Amino acid sequence: MFKVVKKRVLNENMTWLVIDAPLVAKHAKPGQFIILRTDEHGERIPLTMAGHDSEAGTIDLIYAAVGRTTMLMDQLEEGDYLLDVVGPLGKPTEMDGLKKVCVVGGGTGNALAYPLATGMHDHGIEVDMIAGYKSKEHVILEDEFRAGTDNLYITTDDGSYGEKGFTTDKLKELIEAGNKYDEIVAVGPPMMMKFICKMAESYGIPSVASLTAYMIDGTGMCGGCRCVVGGENKFVCVDGPEFDGALVDWDELIKRNSYYKEQEADDRAHVCRLTGGVRYHD
């Protein structure tokens, strides 16, 4: 059992949980993830760790309550427990040799971009952070990004906060202003990452994409997180989650990630606050 030490609501959709998981925290590194279950009847889902404290023995999880498990997680309060937390899984973010990078996060992907950007900054790398959101009410982690990176640029689609426009617009502006990036890191919706990585390639800058995929065991056995990188089958759980953005078959990834849209919509049903069970609509 893994205790919820702290709960922080970031906005109406996003929540930050601090979980007591000393063995995971002891070995965790930026870019890695865990797989959890809420209870004995729960499904297994992967979540990137937003941070960890090896001395306190805790890990940070930031998530959007959009599916069955994250909706159940949203009912947890401080002092409640998760049944299973397994990790750390996946390969850590590679940082050696990097002097200056631009990390680009989109929407809820900014929760995943946070540990990468701040982890690189802590490693001594100069980090420009572009955080894109739909509108002002969706902005999260602004103070944390400002404290943990060298420069933060916020964009919103509707211009209600920060700069009006898309993350690609700001990235192009920064590159053409003369910033010499050793690497561009993309974290967010696959379509956004595709265009970020394509732009990086057009300027001759290496790119890294942090991929999300359907996952069951997290050890490469189930094959559910298969993706095509450089014409070869790779597994997000053991070969990633970060890959060379120029080599990812984005169209194949986007297609695979849309397989279960109808089932996911069904899971956004009412979660009973008394029993924790999911009641499906007729």
pLDDT tens-digit readout, 121-153:
999 999 999 999 999 999 999 999 999 999 999
Q: In this structure, is residue 72 part of a structural domain? A: yes
Residue 278 counted as domain residue: no
Looking at the structure, tell me whether residues 68 and 202 fall in a common domain.
no
pTM value is 0.86
> Is the pLDDT reported for residue 275 higher than 80?
no
pLDDT of res. 66: 79
Same domain for 137 and 171: yes
Domain holding 68, by residue range, is 2-89
**Predicted confidence band of residue 164 (pLDDT cuts 50, 70, 90):** very high
CATH value at residue 190:
3.40.50.80
Is residue 235 in some structural domain? yes
- In three-state secondary structure terms, 168 is helix
- Residues 38, 109 within the same domain: no
Q: Report how far residue 163's alpha carbon sits from residue 154's, in angstroms, rounded to the nearest whole number.
A: 6
The per-residue pLDDT of the chain, averaged, comes to 89
Which pLDDT belongs to residue 272?
56
Tell whether 76 and 45 lie within a shared domain.
yes
Distance CA 145, CA 117 (A): 8
Report yes or no: 220 and 237 within 8 Å, Cβ to Cβ: yes
- 148 shares a domain with 40: no
Residues 148 and 174 in one domain: yes
Q: How many whole angstroms separate alpha carbon 31 and alpha carbon 94?
A: 9
3-state secondary structure of 229: strand
Shared domain check, 66 and 137: no
Q: What is the dihedral of CA 235, 239, 241, 247, to 10 degrees?
A: -80
Say if residue 116 is in the same domain as residue 40: no
- Residue 264 inside a domain? The answer is no
**Does residue 106 sit in the same domain as residue 193?**
yes
Q: Tokens 């090896």 — which residue? A: 54
